[in-house]
Chains A and B, each alone.
Chain A
Amino acid sequence: MQTPFWNKEIETAERAVLQKIQLERLRETILWALKTPFYQKQLREARISSPDNIRSLSDLRKIPFTTKDDLRLNFPKGLLAVDMKDVVRIHSSSGTTGIPTVIYYSKEDIDNWSDLMARCIFATGATRADIFQNMMTYGMFTGGLGLHYGAERVGMAVIPIGGGNTKRQIKTMKDFCTTILHVTPSYLLHIHSKLDEAEVKREELVLKKAFIGAEPHSEDFRKKIEHIWHIDAYNSYGLSELNGPGVAFECAYKKDMHLWEDAYIVEIINPETGQPVKDGQPGEVVLTNLIRRATPMIRYRTRDLAFLHPEPCPCGRTHRRLSRILGRTDDMLIINGINVFPSQIEEVVMRIPEVATNYVIQVEKKGALDHLTVKVEIYPKLFLGEPAQLDRLKARITDELHSAIILHPSVELHEPNSLPVSEGKAKRVIDLRPKE
């Protein structure tokens, strides 16, 4: 399973060497951060007025966290560290939740990001001989362009098709002999259910791999994808505040994602106290970007919950692996006082073979109590025609959910493709409770 390295020296560097690189780059990052109004204030609070105040990596902890709200409050230019004429790209969140956030990239930033992406792609065993169909949305969202640049850097043939239009996606996969997809996991499942309609058989496609991201998903969800498509699916992690995709990516061993520690400093903290958790324990991922000039980012609270594997990976890369995202600090539901993460529900739903590709979690108030409903789609090939079978299935899902999350949900069975599927990020949680 040994795959070639894109940059062997860095990817297999001793931990001590990596830490030396981190310290040097953190100092440079401080220098750039001091050019922005926002970090001038943050660093002043930490009594840091020059890179010389950072003597060791632990000095990083003196600096306050940066949050999404900070980015909103300092929109549009509070974190810009270079002259606008040196900016070559702007990515911005859509701002559906209020004020948008923005990240600026210099030419060098884009170059560094593309190189990290190439590293990720190489680690999966992909080569320049591959045909890469990028189904991720292009535009202001970083997912599309990030992988696009990385794939071109590797030298693959890139099909910049973007998201949506399932029939055309399938036809394109066939026409150009696509070997690798970049896609959200829920959309990849959706496409499979449309093969018949597009009158294309799986055997007519030469698909080998998929890079799946932009949506948290469980290991069982990945296995389901790999099983129905007969491909290898690789998890990826990134967020636009830290460039976009390419922060962490799975290697050919597919045992969680190498986080490139020469480019990012990762901390795992207790989201309530802000203190670091013990090695290997789950907590909120906090990231510092070490290689971006136009928008420096120091101790950014991602609100993603995950843990780091302390032990090395057999692939030889020394950069630690980040677990899949266990949940979000802000998507945890509190239902009748019990903490529930949508990922726990997904895990149960996905291991039941009679359940198809889509599910919805709905919470509402019934009298004084919260009521949880889990809606699932049934898998057509396993329907035997008898209502008794479906009643047993419902009871089984209810029981398994009860053991996973303590609560007793109502389970609803739906027809395939009847629950809302978005062709981008799936909206799976509907909270109808009145806001306090």
Chain B
Amino acid sequence: MKITQISVFLENRKGRLYDVCSLLGKNSINIRALTIAETESFGVLRIVVDKSDLAIDALRKNGFVANLTDVVAIEVGDRPGGLAEVLKIFADNDVNVEYMYGFVEKFSDNALLVFRFEDVEKAQKILTEKGIKIVTRKEIEGL
């Protein structure tokens, strides 16, 4: 069960991150998870939002360079070693994680994490086999 992440190219200019967030706010789009990959001269903002189709339209219409990426959101026990357990499954089964980051909210006692895998299909198969809960698009929209 893949969900959609939006990547936005941000040039190194004051207020650019604010511009993105205020545009999303104006369109009543809620950010669920967020991270910034930065280099010395530019950044790429990665977000998961409740209404991704609306968000990408609004961003592109307003001149932002944005693209969609498939990611997987999973629930991880919110306790010491919770993340390590999941990562061990990936390591044992040769599933490569490109990057990951956390959600702002959660909807149970578990923590919510976004994963970008090298091979999404394989990762999903392993997760399902091991009984790890994958969060659906509907659940993200309803958060």
Contacts and interface: CB of A to CB of B under 8 A. Distances in A.
A378 interface: yes
Interface residues of B, number: 24
Contacts of B44: 385-387, 390
A417 interface: yes
Contacts of B42: 387, 390, 412-413
A234 B42 CA distance: 37
Interface string B13-35: 10000000000000000000000
A378 B41 CA distance: 14
Contact of A415 (B39, B63, B69): B63
A414 B60 contact: no
Contacts, number: 56
A390 B44 CA distance: 10
Interface in A368-417: 378, 380, 383-387, 390-391, 394, 412-417
A273 interface: no
A387 B67 contact: no
A58 interface: no
A97 interface: no
A416 B39 contact: no
Contact of A391 (B7, B39, B65, B68): B39
B69 A418 contact: no
Interface of B is mostly: strand
B112 to A, nearest CB: 21
A412 B9 contact: no
Interface string A416-434: 1110000000000000000
Nearest to B16: A415
A425 to B, nearest CB: 23
27 contacts: A196-B61, A378-B9, A380-B60, A380-B65, A380-B66, A383-B9, A383-B66, A385-B7, A385-B67, A386-B44, A386-B69, A387-B39, A387-B42, A387-B43, A390-B39, A391-B39, A394-B41, A412-B41, A413-B11, A413-B42, A414-B11, A415-B10, A415-B11, A415-B64, A415-B65, A417-B63, A418-B13
